A and B are shown apart, each in its own frame.
Chain A
């Protein structure tokens, strides 16, 4: 029972943190016009999804310097926790009233569309049950989850080999910039929650919920009627449950939810597509703000899994280059280029590492 409560509070805590981080982006600089056109529910959901990426985006900058200088995990925890608390307090101060309105908006929407809400609740509950209660043997967890457990146990970051526990004399650059698992380590170190419970239950449920949120946002962007939105979300659920070979993103979502690749392949790619539709429709925020959101999502995704280094630039290219050409938004090329840069830069660093141009040692040399 206590573990169920830990998982429940973990998921709720995550959402509070993401909302706080995301609201700093969606709330700041919003003009009157935007606040009139944006409905409360959508802003709340966008804030949460965006907050997820913004959280990992900021964490990256706090995590990498201590890791590169082989400082202990406890030091990173000591730096990061006050930052998170400060962000929550600042965000609550500036957005508190708006949150209340937005949450009221959610309850109003549920009251208005009881059947739709019930259907949504059922399919989300099924997914939560599947990711939280089933046993899935995957080889990659031998790295990702064991890395969290090893980092917590040794109080170091990426210094010991997760597969064997042996000390490594240099950092494996494939994983160095993907600081997602180090964030898991920070939480486990801080709370004492075992790595397996945090990654395979708390984060898996969190990711499933966030993915369904982005599905709702996409469906809402394509349909006005709530019934159609729910039908589309149900169809997405059906496709996810049936488009399953060991390679599909749907399979990753259902069976390997906690892995960075699954997050990039489902949540990040979908979020970029959602922001593309918003920009295509010219609704909501200014171009500058939309590119800022995209940049945060793109950079955040690269800190979650190195798979994003190539996937995100490709997705940006296939979505936004035709949009820029078709709408003759030549000034927006800058935004596209800036969003592509993080992924390509990390990919380049990895190529240089593989080709032997540099090594980052885990001790002074």
Chain B
């Protein structure tokens, strides 16, 4: 879970992890309420199915000490919340709701209970598409413009593989659609760039020339033009795709990159490498 660390939080980690997990949803509380109902009014079988596992969950997954112990073996900081998936919320709550509805004697009673349950859900949950949903633009479920960018780069490149620096969303999606597009920046480096600025030491790190590209194009930090183009050389990056209203458009032009094409909202720049780079797959036929 982002921002939560077992070592820092200690035994409060579990509570904070659970708070983030449930967010504004009250389903965990409903689960506890449903469990209490089963304990009081449930049949023997209902108790056998739902109560012992919940007690075991309480002493294992929901034990504040459990993440501290597990963290000594695995790094559970970002993934402990998945243990909450084991809780049969999705079985017990719908089960009890069904019992409450179907065991009413008359249709009127069933309607009232259903209405009350609908109200409970409205106040307990958050609809998955509260912020609206976006229909896929094509069968690939990728932005159409990204597909256009891919086609334009390959058309210009002439090589089987092309290497590019892309804006964030395209960088995360391009290779799902087009594995012949090599990317300069990997996912973790991009995520780091979005979340923190680059220090002088990082910008001077010869082993990571991509930091200079990210510093300039993601964080808008100052980078000398020759250092930027050297970073393109070092990473063998031929294409840079940025939004057409990116603040560094003029910088890229003055650094010697040429606009080879444009889409509705993106500009595709090309940098002429001093030595042409052609990516080749490793030949495993020599191994066997």
Hey, which bits of chain A sit against chain B, CB under 8 A?
3, 70-72, 130, 133-137, 139, 141-143, 145-146, 149-150, 152-154, 156, 159-167, 194-197, 200-201, 218-219, 222-223, 225, 227-228, 231-233, 235-236, 238-245, 247-251, 254-255, 261, 265, 269-270, 273, 276-277, 280-281, 307, 310-311, 314-315, 317-319, 321-323, 326, 347, 351, 354, 363-364
Q: Is B151 an interface residue (CB 8 A)?
A: no
- Chain B, residues 127-149, CB within 8 Å of chain A (1/0): the string is 11000011111011110000000
Q: How far is the CB of A242 from chain B (nearest CB, A)?
A: 3
> How long is the Cα–Cα vector from A39 to B187 in the complex, in angstroms?
50
Q: How far is the CB of B125 from chain A (nearest CB, A)?
A: 3
| Contact of A351 with B74 in the complex, beta carbons under 8 Å | yes
Given the known interface contacts A243-B25, A317-B60, the answer about A196 and B182 at a Cβ–Cβ threshold of 8 Å is no
Query: What residues of A have a CB within 8 angstroms of the CB of B284 in the complex?
Result: 70, 72, 156, 363
Query: What residues of B have a CB within 8 angstroms of the CB of A317 in the complex?
Result: 56, 60
Nearest residue, chain A, Cβ from B48: A280
Interface size classification for chain B: 35 or more
Nearest residue, chain B, Cβ from A150: B179
Q: How far is the CB of A80 from chain B (nearest CB, A)?
A: 19
- Chain B, residues 186-209, CB within 8 Å of chain A (1/0): the string is 110001000000000000000000
> How long is the Cα–Cα vector from A281 to B90 in the complex, in angstroms?
20
| Contact of B73 with A311 in the complex, beta carbons under 8 Å | no
- Which listed residue, A244, A276, A310, touches B83 by the CB 8 Å rule? A310
Q: Is B22 an interface residue (CB 8 A)?
A: yes
| Contact of B83 with A134 in the complex, beta carbons under 8 Å | no
- Which listed residue, A139, A242, A323, A364, touches B52 by the CB 8 Å rule? A323
Q: Is B169 an interface residue (CB 8 A)?
A: yes
Query: What residues of B have a CB within 8 angstroms of the CB of A354 in the complex?
Result: 75
- Which listed residue, B1, B90, B121, touches A236 by the CB 8 Å rule? B90
Q: How far is the CB of A150 from chain B (nearest CB, A)?
A: 5
Given the known interface contacts A134-B135, A142-B176, A150-B179, the answer about A167 and B82 at a Cβ–Cβ threshold of 8 Å is no
| Contact of B53 with A318 in the complex, beta carbons under 8 Å | yes
Q: How far is the CB of B156 from chain A (nearest CB, A)?
A: 18
Nearest residue, chain B, Cβ from A165: B182
| Contact of A236 with B94 in the complex, beta carbons under 8 Å | yes
Q: Is B40 an interface residue (CB 8 A)?
A: no
